[in-house]
Amino acid sequence: MKLNYKLQGEGQPIVFLHGVFGSLDNLNMLAKAFAKHYQTVQVDLRNHGHSPWSDKINYQAMAEDVAELCYDLQLKDIILIGHSMGGKVAMHLSQMLSDTIQKMVVIDIAPIKYHRSGNATILRVLMYCLTNQITDKKQIINLMEQAGINAPTILFLLKSFKNEKWLFNIQAINSQYGHICDWQNISPWLKPTLFIRGGNSSYITNEAYDAIFAQFPNAKIEVVEGAGHNVHAEKTQQVLQLLHNWLEE
C-alpha cells in the first residue's frame, strides 16, 4: 500500500509514526524541531489521514506499508520514532528492516498485549455517529462529552474530522481493534532503543519492563513526570531534550 507522507529537511532520515485515530500531523512538534538537521518523514498509517483504507489492520500489514515507503524513498540508517500504535509498528519493523534501522524511539507503549477497554468508549461513540450519519461537529462534541470523554481527547479526535468526514476508517478500526491491542513477542533487537513513558500514563507499567528488556535488551526507559499518554504533546520540550540527548550518545 502506498502511504501518504510528508518530507522536511535533509540528512539522516527520521521516520515518525502516529498512534490510532491520529495522522502524520500528530508528531509535527517533534518533526519540525528535527527538520533543521535531519530529513524527517511523517507518515499517515493505513486507514488514517490521507493514506488508503483497507479492511485489514494488523502490525504485519502496517509494517509492510512503512517498509515499502522506506524502500521507495531509499532510506538508510533510519531513526524510527513511533507513538502508541505507531510505536508497535516501529517495533515490528525492527524484524523487517533490522539492517536499515539504526535507532528506535517508542513513545508510551510496550511490546505487550493490551485490553480492548482502553478506547471502548471512543469507539462506541464513533460507531454511533457513523451508523446514524451524525456529521454536525457540535452534536459530536456533545455526544463525546456525555460519554465522559475528556476535552483533550475530544480535541485530538476532531483534528481528524474535516469537511464533515472522519479521516480515519472508524469501521475498520472498530472491527480490527483486537489486532491493534494484540502483540506477538519478537526476536530480540539489539540496537539502541529508547522508551519514553508518561508518568501519569498506564500504557507502560513497571510490570512491562521485563517484556521490554526481553525483546529490546539495549533499551533505555525514560519517564516524563506529569505527562499522560500523549507525552510528546503535553511535555514537548522535555521530550525533545530527551531525544536530542539520546541521539547524541
pLDDT digit string, tens, across residues 95-105 = 999 999 999 99
**What proportion of the chain, given as a percentage, has pLDDT over 70?**
99
Cα distance between residue 167 and residue 53, in whole Å:
10
Domain spans, the chain:
5-114+184-247, 117-174
The mean pLDDT of 205-231, rounded to a whole number, is 97
pLDDT digit string, tens, across residues 195-211 = 999 999 999 999 999 99
Q: Is the pLDDT reported for residue 118 higher than 80?
A: no
- Beta-strand ranges (E) seen in 60-218 are 78-83, 101-107, 161-162, 165-166, 193-198
Whole-prediction pTM value? 0.96
pLDDT of the residue at 116:
66
The mean pLDDT of 56-61, rounded to a whole number, is 96
**Residues marked as catalytic:** 84, 229
Cα 161 to Cα 136, 146, 147, 195, distances in angstroms? 10, 19, 18, 30
pLDDT digit string, tens, across residues 14-43 = 999 999 999 999 999 999 999 999 999 999
Closest CA to 176 of 24, 47, 16, 63: 47
The mean pLDDT of 159-176, rounded to a whole number, is 96
**pLDDT bracket for residue 248 (50, 70, 90):** confident
CB 112 within 8 A of CB 181: no
pLDDT of the residue at 243:
97
Cα distance between residue 150 and residue 159, in whole Å:
15
Q: Is the pLDDT reported for residue 167 higher than 80?
A: yes
Cα distance between residue 138 and residue 166, in whole Å:
15
User: How is residue 96 written as a grid cell?
Assistant: 523487517
Q: Is the pLDDT reported for residue 115 higher than 90?
A: no
Q: Is the pLDDT reported for residue 117 higher than 90?
A: no
**What proportion of the chain, given as a percentage, has pLDDT over 90?**
97
Q: Which CATH architecture has domain 5-114+184-247?
A: 3-Layer(aba) Sandwich (3.40)
